[in-house]
């Protein structure tokens, strides 16, 4: 074997994360591995943020997901960490005062409450959403 294990793993991971599958003569299996990696990253991020994403036009939701994954999002597969990271990322990009921005704040609050061992109940989440939707845009923004 010409390449040590650590070196092989770093090189393979780098090609996958860079999406470097298009060179002439490249292993076609690399392209499908990259496609699977991107699909799984999208799935992890989208799963946790679905209520927020559903309040966006589908094209916009897709664009934001693609942008997040291209920036390295969705790789953390343990627990809900990829979803929380996506919500934090989304919160800085959604139109202030929009229903999606309010839902994003509620979802983040629910994640924080769950992480503290005090899961938010549905009625609490609904009340928070109603409260946020009545507030001016700048207050929703500051609630993040």
Partner 1 sequence: MAGAPAWPAPLGVGLPWNPDLPAELYAADLLDFVEITPEQLCRQGPAGFVLEPALLDRARAVAGHLPMAVHGVELSIGSASGMNPAYLPMLDALHAAWPFRWHSEHLHFQMVDGAEIGVPLPLPPTAEAAALVAGRARAIQARYGLPFLLENGAHYLRDLPADPAIADEFGLMNAISAHAGCGQLLDLHNLHCNAVNHGFDAMAALDRVALDRVGEIHVAGGSWAGGFYTDAHDGAVPEPVWDLLAAVLPRVPRAVGVVFEVLDRHAARLGPELIARQVARARAIWRGAR
> Do residues 104 and 90 make contact, with C-beta atoms less than 8 angstroms apart?
yes
Q: CA distances (Å), 15 to each of 11, 34, 123, in order?
A: 6, 9, 46
Interaction between residue 124 and partner 1 (CB under 8 A): no
Nearer to partner 1, 21 or 55 (CB): 21
Smallest distance from partner 1 to CB 58, Å: 18
Q: How far apart are CA 137 and CA 104, in angstroms?
A: 14
Interaction between residue 125 and partner 1 (CB under 8 A): no
* Residue of 142, 80, 76, 69 lying closest to 111 (CA atoms): 80
Q: How far apart are CA 47 and CA 12, in angstroms?
A: 27
Among 116, 122, 136, 142, binds partner 1 (CB under 8 A): 116
Interaction between residue 80 and partner 1 (CB under 8 A): yes
Nearer to partner 1, 114 or 137 (CB): 114
Q: Where along the sequence are the contacts to partner 1 (CB under 8 A)?
A: 1-6, 8-10, 12-13, 16-17, 27-33, 35-37, 40-41, 43-44, 47, 74-81, 84, 114-117, 119
């Amino acid at each position: 074997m010409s390449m040590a294990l650590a070196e092989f793993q770093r090189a393979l991971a780098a090609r996958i994360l860079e999406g470097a599958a298009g060179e002439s003569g490249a292993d076609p299996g690399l392209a499908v591995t990259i496609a699977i990696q991107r699909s799984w990253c999208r799935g992890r991020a989208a799963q946790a943020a679905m209520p927020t994403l559903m309040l966006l036009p589908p094209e916009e939701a897709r664009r934001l997901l693609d942008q997040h994954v291209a920036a390295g999002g969705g790789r953390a597969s343990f627990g809900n960490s990829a979803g929380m990271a996506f919500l934090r990322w989304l919160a800085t990009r959604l139109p202030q005062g929009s229903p999606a921005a309010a839902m994003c704040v509620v979802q983040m609050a629910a994640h924080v409450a769950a992480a503290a061992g005090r899961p938010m109940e549905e009625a609490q989440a609904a009340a928070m959403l109603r409260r946020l939707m009545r507030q001016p845009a700048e207050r929703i923004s500051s609630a993040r």
